[in-house]
Amino acid sequence: MLRKDIFCDEDGTREFNKSLVCPACETNLSAKFDVIRVDLQASEQFKSMVLAGQKPEVIMEICSRALAFWTYQTHQEKMYQDYVANKAKEKTSQLEQYYNQVLSKVQAELNCILFSVLDDKKDLEDTKKRYNELSEKLMEKNRQYLKLQGMYDSLRRKTITPSVLEGREEHFLESRGLGGQMKHVFEIPLGTGGDLLRRSASSADVRYPAEREFHVFDPPVPESVRVSTPSHRQLNDTDAASRKFTLDFTGTPGISKRLGQKGNNKD
């Protein structure tokens, strides 16, 4: 049985105008009825006349060959559709596998991000808790600092006074220099400091810085108005703990006038 192929009118006309060779099986079609054009929508007149006058054996043979050709073409169509379906299944399988991998990867990344977010939330809660604790500690330290600062200021006002240094109120002395001008001096005791140490020991061992630094020096006044301190030989042990001397501060009013008077006296 010869193989038969069928083509559409457009493809058949294009191919057979080039050469009488089958495009599918490359068979040489040189005989008279190797290539025929078939009307798939045959008219009733054609159906009535095409096999008219033929013997039943010829009619049956023609019908059997036509049925065989139709079966062959149906089989070829089925094979082609199966091929297309297999290709589609393979592509679908590949795409399904690819997207499953993508989905697994995305799911893993999402889980990782979720775990990271949970860890970050936990760290944030711990940080907030630690921040609150440190804030409370800082506020408590600030309150203690302010309380200690107030106590320090109060003790300093009560302790760092001339009365603490000598056990009595500071005496403000007035003396007159040359020309009857008033000279202001302060009387400061020079002792061993035992009283101050005893009073400091009773104040919770709190050490305070000096209120201000000053220097002791002899004022530039005439020899006649200087007050000299007794010599060590004239003082006994009791007098040595309470001896005093006079300081004249450079800011005392009238010092420039006395300096001028000193120059005049020398002249």
Within the chain, what is the greatest distance between any pair of CA atoms?
A: 179
Task: Return the percentage of the chain with pLDDT > 70, whole number.
Answer: 54
Q: What confidence score (pLDDT) does residue 41 get? A: 79
Mean pLDDT of all residues in 195-211: 47
Residue 172 three-state SS:
strand
Q: What confidence score (pLDDT) does residue 86 get? A: 95
**Is it the case that residue 186 has pLDDT exceeding 60?**
no
Cα end-to-end distance, the chain, whole Å: 163
Q: What does the alpha-carbon distance between residue 152 and residue 104 come to, in Å, rounded to a whole number?
A: 70
What is the token pair recorded at 119?
Answer: 């860890």
- Give the total residue count for the chain: 267
CB 221 within 8 A of CB 177: yes
Name the more confident of 2 and 225.
Answer: 2
**Is it the case that residue 105 has pLDDT exceeding 60?**
yes
Q: What confidence score (pLDDT) does residue 43 get? A: 84
Please list, in sequence order, all residues whose beta carbon lies within 8 angstroms of the beta carbon of residue 184, skipping any fewer than 6 positions away.
172, 173, 174, 249, 252, 253
Give the type of residue at 136: E
